[in-house]
A = this chain, B = another copy of it.
Amino acid sequence: MVPESIRRAGVPEATVGRLPLYLRALTTLHDQGITSIASEELASRSGVRSTQLRKDLSHLGSYGVRGVGYDVELLAAQIAQELGLTQEWPVVIVGMGNLGRALAAYGGFSGRGFRIVALVDDDPEVVGTLVEGLRVMTLADLAAKGPTVAIGVITTPAPAAQTVAQNLVRMGVRSILNFAPGHLNVPDGVDVRGVDLATELQILAFHEQRRLLAVSTHDPLQEGTDSEAMG
């Protein structure tokens, strides 16, 4: 086996992106009372190939038993540790509009390694009100007397996002999830992930158009983005 110090540094980015997928599937299995699972079955439930699953898991170490499979609980714990979910990360949501309120109301944070500890807006009508049991504050309040936060979620209109990001970075936040469209300029060492609805829809539109074009020209061009059959 590879030494711990080396393998820690060497988890490929693509693998990191799939670990949450596996963890989710394992959690579901655990809830169903299943204690052991083979890579083939776990891969199928995660939407990846079994070879890829095994290669991914091999980067965290050898937690499987040949001839049997993986212990659901043990593997889940290992992935959770690798992702840093043994502690609860404090999260702030900035922008209490439609989307921000939906996220605040969403129950999927707690119990999964995250806790919303602050809600922020700059509208005087909104600041001071209670949303989901938390009092909405301004960014200045958060910096001055708010709780420490590790992750910032931005759900303001696009023009405000860059300024909000700078303020978050100034108060020590180095992980940002941005729902506003557009690219954020941040210093080195700050991690920004963007979720953009328009981008996702436009990628779907591209493939949709290509499919229609292929059919209309009787071009036997196969798409095949997912080989699983429907039940």
CA distance A168 to B89 in the complex (A): 37
For chain A, which range describes its interface: under 10, 10 to 19, 20 to 34, or 35 or more residues? 35 or more
Name the B residues within 8 Å of A188 (CB-CB).
222-227, 229
Q: State which residues 174-231 of A face B: CB under 8 Å.
A: 174-177, 181-193, 195-211, 213, 221-231
With most chain B CB atoms within 10 A of its CB, the pick from A46, A113, A114, A188 is A188
Do A151 and B201 contact each other (CB < 8 Å), given the known contacts A20-B196, A183-B47, A187-B230?
yes
In the complex the two chains form, is B16's CB within 8 Å of A203's CB?
Answer: yes
Determine the residue in chain B with the shortest Cβ distance to A104: B98
Do A175 and B204 contact each other (CB < 8 Å), given the known contacts A46-B183, A98-B101, A230-B166?
yes
Cβ-based interface call for A85 (8 A): yes
Q: State which residues 126-183 of A face B: CB under 8 Å.
A: 150-151, 166, 169, 174-177, 181-183
Cβ-based interface call for A123 (8 A): no
In the complex the two chains form, is B186's CB within 8 Å of A228's CB?
Answer: yes
Cβ-based interface call for A61 (8 A): no
One of B174, B176, B202, B231 near A23 (C-beta < 8 A)? B202
26 contacts between A and B (CB under 8 A): A17-B199, A20-B202, A25-B183, A45-B183, A46-B183, A83-B202, A84-B205, A84-B209, A99-B106, A102-B102, A108-B181, A108-B198, A112-B202, A113-B202, A114-B201, A151-B201, A151-B204, A169-B230, A174-B208, A177-B204, A187-B230, A189-B211, A191-B226, A192-B225, A193-B204, A195-B200
Name A's B-contacting residues (CB within 8 A). 8-9, 16-17, 19-21, 23-25, 28, 45-47, 82-85, 89, 91, 98-99, 101-103, 105-106, 108-109, 112-114, 150-151, 166, 169, 174-177, 181-193, 195-211, 213, 221-231
